[in-house]
Chain A
Amino acid sequence: MTQIIKAKNLSKSYGKFQALKNINLTIGKGKIVGLIGPNGAGKTTLLKALLGLTAYDGDLEVMGISPFQDRAKLMEDICFIADVAVLPDWIKVNEVLDFVEQTHPKFSRSKAEGFLKKTKLGAKQKVKSMSKGMIVQLHLAIVMSIEAKLLILDEPTLGLDIIYRKDFYDNLLNDYFDNERTIIITTHQVEEIEHILTDLLFIKDGEIVLDANMEELTEEYFEVMVPSENYEDAMSFKPLQSRKVFGKHVMLFKHPNRGELEALGEVQRPGVADLFVAMLKEEDAE
Chain B
Amino acid sequence: MKALIRREFWEHRGAFIKAPIIISIVLLVIAIVGYIIGLVFANKTGSAEIVHKGINELHNLSEKQLSTFWDVQLISTSTLFLFVLFIVLFFFILGSLFDDRKDGSIQFWKSLPISDSETVLSKLITAMIFVPLVFTAVFAAYMLANMVLTSILLMFHGQNPWTLVWVPASIVKGILTMLIGALTQMLWAMPIYGWLMFSSSWSKRRPFLFAIFIPLLVAVSWYFLNVVTRMNFVQVEMFKWPAKFFMFSALPYGTNAGGSGFQINLGEGGMSLIDIASNLKGSIMHMEIIYGIIFSAVFIALSIWVRRYRNTT
With CB as the reference atom, state the residue of chain A lying closest to B312: A53
Which residues of chain B are near A121, meaning CB under 8 Å? none
Q: Would you mind naming 6 contact pairs between A and B with Cβ atoms under 8 Å apart?
A: A51-B111, A72-B115, A74-B113, A88-B11, A91-B11, A92-B10
B112 and A100 contacting across the interface, CB-CB below 8 Å: yes
A226 to B111, CA, bound (A): 49
Q: Which of A77-114 contact B (CB under 8 A)?
A: 78-80, 82, 84-92, 95, 98-100, 102-105
A72 to B112, CA, bound (A): 7
With CB as the reference atom, state the residue of chain B lying closest to A53: B312
Which residues of chain B are near A54, meaning CB under 8 Å? 312
A76 within 8 A of B: yes
Q: Given known contacts A51-B111, A72-B115, A87-B108, is B3 in contact with A95 (CB within 8 Å)?
A: no
Q: Given known contacts A53-B313, A99-B3, A99-B7, is B105 in contact with A87 (CB within 8 Å)?
A: yes
Q: A71-B115, A86-B105, A91-B11 are in contact. List 15 more A-B contacts (CB 8 A).
A: A51-B110, A51-B111, A53-B110, A72-B116, A73-B113, A75-B111, A76-B113, A82-B107, A88-B108, A95-B7, A99-B3, A99-B6, A103-B3, A103-B113, A139-B108
A134 within 8 A of B: no
Q: Given known contacts A54-B312, A88-B108, A90-B10, is B2 in contact with A102 (CB within 8 Å)?
A: yes
Shortest beta-carbon distance, A238 to chain B, in Å?
Answer: 44
A48 to B11, CA, bound (A): 27
Shortest beta-carbon distance, A152 to chain B, in Å?
Answer: 9
Which residues of chain A are near B57, meaning CB under 8 Å? none
In this complex, the member of B7, B106, B107, B312 whose beta carbon has the largest number of chain A beta carbons within 10 angstroms is: B107
A183 to B309, CA, bound (A): 26
B114 within 8 A of A: yes
Q: Given known contacts A72-B115, A103-B112, is B3 in contact with A90 (CB within 8 Å)?
A: no
Query: Which applies to chain B's interface (DSSP): helix, strand, loop or mixed?
Result: helix
B103 within 8 A of A: yes
With CB as the reference atom, state the residue of chain A lying closest to B110: A53
A86 and B309 contacting across the interface, CB-CB below 8 Å: no
B100 within 8 A of A: yes
Q: Which of A114-128 contact B (CB under 8 A)?
A: none
Which residues of chain B are near A85, meaning CB under 8 Å? 104
A86 and B107 contacting across the interface, CB-CB below 8 Å: yes
A78 to B111, CA, bound (A): 8
Contact partner of A88 (CB less than 8 A), chosen from B103, B110, B116, is B103
Which residues of chain B are near A74, meaning CB under 8 Å? 113
Q: Which of B1-45 contact A (CB under 8 A)?
A: 2-4, 6-7, 10-11
Which residues of chain B are near A71, meaning CB under 8 Å? 110, 115
In this complex, the member of B7, B106, B112, B312 whose beta carbon has the largest number of chain A beta carbons within 10 angstroms is: B112
B105 and A103 contacting across the interface, CB-CB below 8 Å: no
A55 within 8 A of B: yes
Q: Given known contacts A55-B309, A99-B3, A104-B113, is B11 in contact with A84 (CB within 8 Å)?
A: no
B104 and A72 contacting across the interface, CB-CB below 8 Å: no
B313 and A103 contacting across the interface, CB-CB below 8 Å: no
Binary contact readout A44-58 vs B (1 if CB under 8 angstroms, 0 otherwise): 000010010111000
Contact partner of A79 (CB less than 8 A), chosen from B3, B7, B107, B111, is B111
Shortest beta-carbon distance, A195 to chain B, in Å?
Answer: 27
Which residues of chain B are near A72, meaning CB under 8 Å? 113-116, 118
Shortest beta-carbon distance, B44 to chain A, in Å?
Answer: 50
A71 to B311, CA, bound (A): 13
B108 and A75 contacting across the interface, CB-CB below 8 Å: no
A236 to B118, CA, bound (A): 65
A82 to B10, CA, bound (A): 23
A72 to B107, CA, bound (A): 13
Which residues of chain B are near A76, meaning CB under 8 Å? 113
A75 and B3 contacting across the interface, CB-CB below 8 Å: no
Which residues of chain B are near A105, meaning CB under 8 Å? 113
A100 to B114, CA, bound (A): 10
Q: Given known contacts A48-B313, A55-B309, A102-B2, is B111 in contact with A88 (CB within 8 Å)?
A: no
